[in-house]
């Protein structure tokens, strides 16, 4: 038999190896809308600001209250509450994490470690939750392995995205709430962790139901949890008021109104019903569906696991339709409940000890092998190599174009803001008539017009911004054009 100390050392070594893998595969790039948006906001918050001016307005000598100033706002931003300003659309939680890491370790690399750090924390917290639910150390470790190799978890952990930090803070809230059953003071930490979870992703407010089920069913711990979360709720309301002009407004408010619809429910059920079993194997979703009937699990804990994943699944069934596998990332804060349900099912299945152990090993191996196959198919560990062009094209284009220039962009606009901070024109928001006026105004003021485009943008770009655009630079697939 291996001693407990040796087992702990091996587990620590495995966790360290996983952390090294995450760092090696990590994307250190501010790329598309989300990653550049979070990082642009982090840098803004580090300067203790929530909004900034729209640079193109001054360049073209347009009034701050121009009705069409939105054509100069990059991806990840929206118009600010004051004329001539813009604010990031994203909630402040992840950018604050990034800003803190940037202050500690510098801005070259440290902010990009938010995902890997949150991933390692998630594995430790999942282990802790499993132990609080009465599972053995071995089964709790198996749960950490299942989450670690999940393609959707791994894929989001190595990008500057909020999905894994959102998962980590929900796990923290549930873990502290379960500990409060033995020591009520932990309820304060549970409320605080829930508050941070909502700062990272507002839809994490859905976790309030499982949080209440994890807490002791007593008035005192609930009040303590409320006290722990209150400062973060107050901060979010103040932030929203400063950034969006109303404490109850968020950067997502308009998007949710546009994207939520009952018409999405059946297509989303089919979509999630396809990809969840494919990515996790059918074993895990089936275990979650059956956890309500496992009478060896306390009724309150069964309700906890059912609602933990169920609230996220229900909400995102109404959300905008996506065809890609990666949309499962929206469910990540609830996916630990599926893993925990599978662990409890493995514990409670009625078999003799030896066949039960062999069946458990086979099930774990199946989950790991399926996950590894998807990771290889999606080339997740090499994904970062494709993002480098965002940084290189933005920096080189900024060095190439004159200082008095306006760069038309869409997909590259957030990266241009982060790496070059040059005035941009969102071609996808600009009509041909508006462009004719801007072109005339730019010519009168000696402002050169350029465009930085991916191949998929070119056809539509030409409809919005007609003219004699000549390629003057290329960085892999991204091409820089100049308007003659």
The predicted pLDDT at position 323 comes to: 81
What pLDDT does residue 468 have? 95
pLDDT at position 255 is 67
Query: What residue has token string 């005192």?
Result: 220
- Cα distance between residue 410 and residue 26, in whole Å: 24
Q: How far apart are CA 478 and CA 392, in angstroms?
A: 10
Which backbone phi and psi does 4 adopt, to 5 degrees? -60, -35
The three-state secondary structure class of 236 is helix
pLDDT, position 322:
83
Angle between helix 353-377 and helix 265-280 axes, rounded to 10 deg: 110
pLDDT string in tens for the chain (484-residue length): 577 888 889 999 999 999 999 999 999 999 988 999 999 999 999 999 999 999 999 999 998 877 778 899 999 999 998 999 999 999 999 999 999 999 999 999 999 999 999 999 999 999 999 999 999 999 999 999 999 999 999 999 999 999 999 999 999 999 999 999 999 999 999 999 999 999 999 999 999 999 999 999 999 999 999 999 999 999 999 999 999 988 888 877 666 777 889 999 999 999 999 999 999 999 999 999 999 999 999 999 999 999 999 999 999 999 988 888 999 999 999 999 999 999 999 999 888 778 888 898 999 999 999 999 999 999 999 988 889 999 999 999 999 999 999 999 999 999 999 999 999 999 999 999 999 999 999 999 999 999 999 999 999 999 999 999 999 999 999 999 999 8
**Are the beta carbons of 137 and 131 closer than 8 angstroms?**
yes
Dihedral (CA of 337, 342, 346, 349) sign: positive
Give, in order, the Cα–Cα distances in Å from 411 to each of 48, 355, 390, 453: 27, 54, 9, 7
Residue 292: enclosing H or E segment and its boundaries? none
């Amino acid at each position: 038999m291996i001693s407990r100390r040796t087992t702990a050392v091996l587990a620590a070594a495995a966790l360290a190896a996983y952390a090294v893998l995450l760092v090696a595969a990590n994307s250190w790039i501010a790329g598309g809308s989300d990653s550049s948006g979070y990082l642009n906001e982090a840098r803004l918050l580090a300067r203790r600001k929530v909004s900034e001016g729209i640079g193109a307005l001054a360049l073209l000598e347009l009034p701050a209250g121009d009705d069409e100033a939105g054509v100069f706002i990059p991806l990840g931003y929206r118009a600010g509450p004051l004329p001539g300003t813009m604010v990031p659309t994203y909630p402040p939680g992840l950018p604050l994490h990034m800003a803190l890491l940037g202050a500690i370790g510098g801005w070259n690399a440290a902010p990009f470690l938010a995902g890997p750090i949150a991933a390692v924390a998630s594995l430790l917290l999942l282990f802790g939750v499993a132990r609080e639910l009465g599972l053995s150390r071995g089964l709790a470790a198996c749960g950490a392995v299942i989450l670690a190799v999940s393609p959707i978890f791994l894929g989001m952990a190595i990008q500057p995205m909020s999905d894994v930090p959102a998962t980590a803070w929900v796990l923290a809230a549930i873990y502290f709430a379960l500990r409060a059953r033995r020591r009520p003071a932990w309820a304060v930490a549970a409320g605080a962790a829930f508050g941070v979870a909502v700062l990272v992703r507002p839809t994490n407010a859905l976790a309030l139901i499982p949080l209440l089920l994890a807490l002791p069913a007593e008035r005192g711990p609930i009040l303590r949890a409320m006290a722990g979360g209150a400062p973060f709720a107050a901060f979010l309301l103040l932030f929203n008021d400063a950034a969006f002009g109303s404490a109850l407004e968020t950067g997502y408010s308009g998007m949710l109104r546009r994207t939520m619809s009952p018409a999405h429910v059946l297509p989303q059920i089919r979509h999630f019903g396809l990809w969840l079993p494919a990515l996790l194997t059918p074993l895990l979703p089936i275990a979650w569906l059956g956890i309500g009937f496992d009478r060896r699990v306390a009724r309150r804990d069964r309700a906890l696991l059912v609602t933990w994943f169920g609230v996220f699944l229900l909400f995102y069934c109404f959300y905008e339709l996506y065809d890609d596998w990666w949309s499962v990332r929206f469910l990540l804060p609830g996916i630990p409940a599926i893993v925990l349900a599978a662990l409890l099912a493995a514990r409670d299945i009625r078999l003799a000890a030896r066949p039960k152990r062999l069946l458990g090993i086979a099930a774990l191996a199946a989950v790991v092998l399926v996950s590894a196959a998807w990771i290889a198919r999606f080339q997740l560990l090499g994904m970062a190599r494709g993002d480098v062009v965002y940084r290189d094209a933005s920096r080189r284009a900024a060095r190439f174009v004159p200082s008095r220039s306006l760069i038309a962009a869409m997909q590259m606009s957030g990266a241009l803001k982060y790496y070059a901070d040059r005035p941009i024109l969102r071609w996808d928001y600009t009509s041909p008539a508006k462009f004719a006026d801007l072109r005339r105004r730019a010519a009168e003021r000696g402002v050169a017009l350029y465009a930085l485009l991916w191949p998929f943008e070119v056809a539509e770009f030409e409809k919005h911004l007609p003219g004699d655009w000549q390629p003057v630079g290329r960085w892999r697939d991204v091409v820089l054009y100049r308007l003659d």
